[in-house]
Amino acid sequence: MRKKVLGVLVSGRGSNLQAIVDAINADRLVAKIGVVISDNPDANALRRIAGLDIPTAVVERKNYASKPEFEAAIIEQLDLHHVELVVLAGFMRILSPQFINRFPMRIMNIHPALLPSFPGLDAQAQALQYGVKVSGATVHFVDEGMDSGPIILQEAVPVEDDDTVTTLADRILHLEHRLYVRAVRLYCEGRIHISGRAVKILPPRQNS
C-alpha cells in the first residue's frame, strides 16, 4: 500500500505528534510525515523529532502582515511536500475558511471532549464545571465552525469525583494518543466514507 503523506501542524509539546511517529516506526501506521510545521520556533514538538529524517518548517504569524499571508506560507509548505492529509496536533491557531476549503475533509483535529459537548478552549474544565460523569476525546474533520466538523472517532473516559483539570486532562491525553493514530490509519487505508455529517468506517479491504 502506498504511504499517504501527512503534514502535521504543531504549536506546543507535541505528544500526539510523538504518538504518530511511534506508530509509523512500529509499522502500526502505513504513512509518511512529509513535513512538520510549527508557528512557534520554541515548540517542544520540534525537539521531539530533531535528528529524525522529517522535514520541518517554522512559520511565525508575526512575520506576515496578514492572516491570509501567514496561511499562504503554511499552504506553500504543505504543497511543497505533497501533503495529502493535514493533521492538527496541538496547533493553537484557528484556520480560516479559505484554508479549510483548500483541503476539504482533509484536515483532522483531536479535541479533549465528547463533541458536540464542550467545544473550544479548556474543554476539561468545562466538563468538570458541568458535572458530567464521562468525558473523552473526539477526532473530527475540520470545517468552518468551532470543533464542529464530522466526527470520525470518539471514546469515553470516566470522570472521577476527585478529578482536577490536570488529572482529567492526563487521562484523556493517554486516550488521544491511541485514538488519533487509529483515525489517521483509517484515513490512510481508505476506510473513511463521509455522507453529509455522518462518517462511516468501512471494513478492511481483503487482499486479492
111 tagged catalytic: yes
Which residues of 16-88 form beta strands (DSSP E)? 31-38, 56-58, 85-88
Catalytic residue (choose from 81, 82, 111, 193): 111
From CA 185, how far away is CA 50, in angstroms rounded?
24
Helix axes 165-188, 15-25, angle to 10 degrees: 40
How is residue 193 written as a grid cell?
A: 466514507
Q: Could you list the active site residues?
A: 111
